[in-house]
Amino acid sequence: MTAEVIARVDGQVGRLTLNRPAALHALNAGMCEIMIEALLAWSDDPAVSLILLDHSGERGFCAGGDIRMLAESGARDGVEAKAFFFTEYRLNALLHGYAKPVVAIMDGVTMGGGVGLSMPAGYRVATERTIFAMPETGIGLFPDVGGGWYLPRLPGKSGLWLALTGARLKAADCLALGIATHVVDSAATTALKAALIAEPHRVDELLSSHAAPPVDPPLNARRTDIDCLFAGDTVEAIFAALAADPGGWAADQLKSLKTKSPQTLKVAHRQLRLGAAASGFAANMAMEYRIGARVVARHDFIEGVRAVIIDKDNAPSWRPATLEGVSNAMLDEIFAPLPPDQEWSPLP
């Protein structure tokens, strides 16, 4: 059986290559466990000075997690889904606080779980094929894997806009927002990786020397609109601001938001507000685990996966169907602490 993550040491570089191309490298618990084991072994190994995260094949870095499994588990007892979140979030936290430099090659699709792998890296390399997004509101989930920590720390309201709309970004916009630290042509990534393995202590110089020519970020033309229209203290206020704006861009954003789960929109809005004030990354992940443990068993996630992934009719029936139907009491229940023996914790 082919390993779904290839973990090995090349020279002084610990390499983790996602190797599930038929599923766009969507993560499962086994893949997370392989990465955790390797990263723990390399953390104290003086022979390893750099970590490189990449993927096999041409289609993308990582499209997310095993959504179908999560929905099937949520429809039963949720045990498998919660176990996956517990392990995945430990991997996210391990990468976030890792003592050695990490380079993530975000070539192609980088969504959901792929964002959770790449955003903790000190060096995040996009290519012209990169498609970055957190599209969870469209399936009744929420922008997890550290989204509550990273997204509100992006410039202005861009993180909230990404969280609510699931908008997709290309490389130039990723660089402009600080999601990517470098942009390299996809054709140059093989040479870049070879250079990093040959001279891992020259990572900054090598990334600069392999950089692609700069491109004007298309999103720059909308940054002021985003900061103004997504500034509301509630999702209802954001809807109202978009509805009152005469521009076509605002109308497009509102049209998109109206297709999302009202519950998830309000969950994401509160998640980013609390994440912005969190005492640290682990505290944010504990919050996200509480949300995840509950949301996977709720109607909107199971229905969203049915509509988008299983039946592909793209016509989910959300419950509640309106923002007004999502009460603060419902949100309080989703965000409430779990019993002490069920709470998430980072690796010891």
Active site amino acids: 65, 113, 136, 144
Alpha-carbon distance of 229 to 225, in angstroms, equals: 6
Helix (H, G, I), strand (E, B), or coil: what is residue 27?
Answer: strand
Burial of 227 (0-12, 13-18, 19+ CB in 10 A): middle
> What strand order describes the sheet that includes 131-133?
60-62, 109-111, 131-133
Alpha-carbon distance of 314 to 219, in angstroms, equals: 27
Q: What is the DSSP letter of 308?
A: I
Alpha-carbon distance of 136 to 158, in angstroms, equals: 16
Contacts of residue 79, defined as CB under 8 A and 6 or more positions apart, other chains included, come to 73
Question: Which residue(s) pair with 62 in the sheet?
Answer: 110
Alpha-carbon distance of 192 to 188, in angstroms, equals: 6
Q: What is the DSSP letter of 18?
A: E
Alpha-carbon distance of 59 to 57, in angstroms, equals: 6
DSSP string, 202-266: GHHHHHHHTPPPP---GGGGGHHHHHHHT--SSHHHHHHHHHH--SHHHHHHHHHHTTS-HHHHH
User: How many Cβ atoms from other residues are within 10 Å of residue 211's Cβ?
Assistant: 16
For β-strands 102-106 and 123-126, DSSP reports them as parallel
Q: Are residues 215 and 172 in contact, defined by beta-carbon separation less than 8 angstroms?
A: yes
Amino acid letter, residue 301: F
